[in-house]
Each structure stands twice: as C-alpha cells, then as structure tokens.
Amino acid sequence: MEIQERQILEKHLNADVYVKTYNVLERDSIIPKELSEASFGNFQTRTDQERALKEFAENQARKYLKGMEGNTLITGGTGIGKSHLSLAMAKAINDGYKEQGKPVSVLFVSLTDIIARVQDGWNYGKGGASLAMQEAVEMLVSPDYLVLDDLGAKNAVIKPKSDWEQDFLFSILDKRTNTIINTNLTGAELQTVYNQRNYSRILKGLEGNTFKAEGIADKRYRIARMKDELKKSQSKSGLSGS
C-alpha cells in the first residue's frame, strides 16, 4: 500500500511539474497547422545542402540536451524548411529532457504574431491590446528554450524596426540564454532591421551554432508544383480511360 501511495503521489507531482515544463510546447506555442506534425523524421532532403541543414538542426538539439547554453541561428530563403526544423528541434529538446527525467519548458512562437496581438487593441482603439506587452514579455522570457520563428520577416523594403519593437525584442533577448532563431534576413539585413544592442543579443553564444542556408529551393513551391502535376496526370489518365 505504501508503494502504491508513493506511485500515486509521484504521478500527481509529475503532472504538476509537466504543467510548467513539458506541456508548455503543445499548450502555449503558436504553431501553424501545416507545421503541427513537423519532425526530423518527415523532413525530406534531396540535396547535400538540405541534408547539411537537417544534420545541423539535429546536432543542435543534441547539444542542448547535453547542457549547451547559447543561441542558435538559421538564416536562408523562404520555404526551405527553417520553421519545420526549428519545431523539430523544439520537440526533440522537449521529449529528450522528459526522457532524462528533467523536463523543461520549450515554446515555439512567431514574434510577428505576438507583436500583432499586443498591437491589436492599439490599431482599433479598443483601449487594451489582446495581449498586454508585459504579459507577452513574461511569456517569452520564462521558457527554458524559446524558438522565435521567422524573426524580422523580410518585406519588400529592408528598414529598421520601430523603437517600440526594438525595445520589445530587447526586453526578451536580454533576459534569455537559450533562444533558437530562424530568419530569411541575411546577417547584414539583421543589422539594418535591428539596432546594435539587439543584434549583439541575437549573437549571444552563437559561435559554432549558426547555419547559413544557400542554394536550397523553396520546398513549398516545389510541393505545390508536384501536386499540380499529379492532378494534371490524374486528369489526363481519367480522360484517356473514358
């Protein structure tokens, strides 16, 4: 009976711990529907560069699971799989620490989405944003590991972010140790979009932990084209069969 009671107690204690750690990724993250099943296992590679990008992401997850501290930065064009692999890293870290019996909190968000939520009330004069700034800062500072997806999403014109956005990002990065960042901005463009104090914090612990993806085609465009070709093939097949 004592063993059973201890097991029940441990189960409840673990449940309480998971609320603040392991469950954070699934419960609090902002993950696009098309990325929800992303993993290392279903990331398709056709070229050496794609394989190198995947190996880098897998290795970064292993390094974090061994206690590495510092940021990770992946740069490259749109649609090459940066978000897919960033989420795969988040899941690997989350599951890996749970298996070690040392669950941690991992959060995956788009900073653009968070900023939009904070500013929502401002734009429409509602007298209050849907997410208060301090609340948003605490949400992004508190996780042990934070994934910032598509940081500073590239627009037609590369220009500095507003003072408010600069201060908002600084209040997050200045208090963090382990942040995984992906962006379609180049290093030079990051220095244009963000001020020096933010750029220096993006670089925190970054030596040996950055990957510049070059020569990788847009996977989303390629998949869409393959689907179109398949539909055309099936259509032709149907016509010939009739």
pLDDT tens figures, 40-90:
999 999 999 999 999 999 999 999 999 999 999 999 999 999 999 999 999
Q: Is residue 173 part of a domain?
A: yes
Selection from 124, 185, 121, 122 nearest residue 151 by Cα: 185
Q: Is residue 99 part of a domain?
A: yes
Q: Is residue 51 part of a domain?
A: yes
Q: What pTM was computed for the model? A: 0.83
- pLDDT score, position 6: 62
What are the CA-CA distances from residue 16 to residues 9, 41, 71, 93, 172 (Å)? 11, 30, 29, 20, 26
- pLDDT score, position 158: 92
Count: domains in the chain: 1
- pLDDT score, position 7: 62
Q: Is residue 54 part of a domain?
A: yes
- Which residue ranges in the chain fall short of pLDDT 50? 125-126, 221, 223-227, 242
Q: Is residue 242 part of a domain?
A: no
CATH number of the domain where residue 154 is located: 3.40.50.300
Full residue range of the structural domain in which residue 16 is found: 2-237
- pLDDT score, position 217: 80
Q: Is residue 97 part of a domain?
A: yes
